[in-house]
Amino acid sequence: MLIVTGGLGFIGSNLVYGLNKINQNNIIICDTANSKLKKNYLKKAKYKKIISPSNFFYFLEKNKKKIKYIFHLGAITATTSLDFKKLLKNNLEFSIKILKFCTNNKIGFIYASSASTYGDGSNGFNDNENYVYLNKLKPLNLYGRSKHFFDLYISEKVKKKKKKLPVQWVGLKFFNVYGKNEKHKKKQMSIISYLTPLINKNQKINLFKSHNKNFKDGEQKRDFIHVSDCISVILWFYKNKKISGLFNVGTGKARTFIDTIKILFKQLNKKEKINFINTPKNIRKHYQYFTKANLNKLKKYGYKKKFKDIEDGIKLFVKENKENY
C-alpha cells in the first residue's frame, strides 16, 4: 500500500498517474475532496480510496503493517497566506507526525519542500542538509518559512546522529513547477497556467515591473520545470531506496518572464500583447527575482534523465491543455 497526501492536488495527482504507469495501483489518497475539479483530475487514475486529513493518522495506525511508502505532497501552498499558525499546523506539525510514523514503522518517506526556502538567493541554491547552511536561509514569505522549518527539523536529526529517521527520507525542493491539473489553485497557479486562458481570449497580459535595479522589467528569472520532470525525479528516488537527503528539483536553467511568455504566445498561435504593471506593494518585499536550481547533488547521486527546457515544456503543456480542457 502506498500513501499519497495531497493526491487530488497538482503534483499529487500527477504522481498517482506516474505510479500507475509503473503498475502501482494500491494507492490511498489523503486529501480534502471538496472540489469537483480536483476529483476530475483522477477520473482515469487507479487508486483504492480517498481519506480525509482528519482521519489520516487513525488510518495509518490501523494499516501500518500494510503501508510500504508515504509520498507527502499535501500542504497549504498559498505563498501569500498570512495565517502562520495555520501554515505551521499543516506544513510543519502534520509533517512531523508523518515523519515519526514512518521512522517508527520503517516506512519510506518522500516529501515536498520548496525553492521558496532559499529566499532571495543570496546564500545560494544549494540542496545541502547541513544545519549550519540551512539556518542561514531566510525565506521571504510565511509559506517558505513553514517549509523551511521542516527542513531544519530533519537537518537537526541528521546532525544528531543518535536521532532516528525513516529507512529512506527525501526532501524535494521544487522550483517553479507548471503543467496540467493546476486549475484549482486559481491565482496561485504557475504563470504559464494562469495566463494561458487569458492569451487564448486575446487579452492583454500584465507582467510585474521590476523594483530591483539589477533587473529590467520582465527580466526577472525563474527556474521553470514541467511537472512530468518532477514526477520522474520522485519515482527515481522511490526506486533507489538507499538514497536519502535534501535535493533540488529544477532544470538548472533560469529563464526570464518575458521570454517565457513570448514562447507561450507563440505556442498558442496568438499575437503578443504584453503590458507592465507595478508589483503590488504587499508582495514586493516577498518577491523572488531569481531562482536557479543547483543540480550537482542530484547528478552526483546518479540521476541522469534530462529536464525539458522551457520551449519543450510549454509545447507539451499546450498539447495537454487542449486534450484535457
Residues forming the active site: 143, 185
The Cα-based distances of 293 to 56, 175, 224, 261 in angstroms read 33, 7, 10, 21
**What type of residue sits at position 317?**
F
Residue found by looking up cell 482521519 in the block: 55
For residues 189 and 212, what is the distance between their CA atoms, to the nearest angstrom? 24
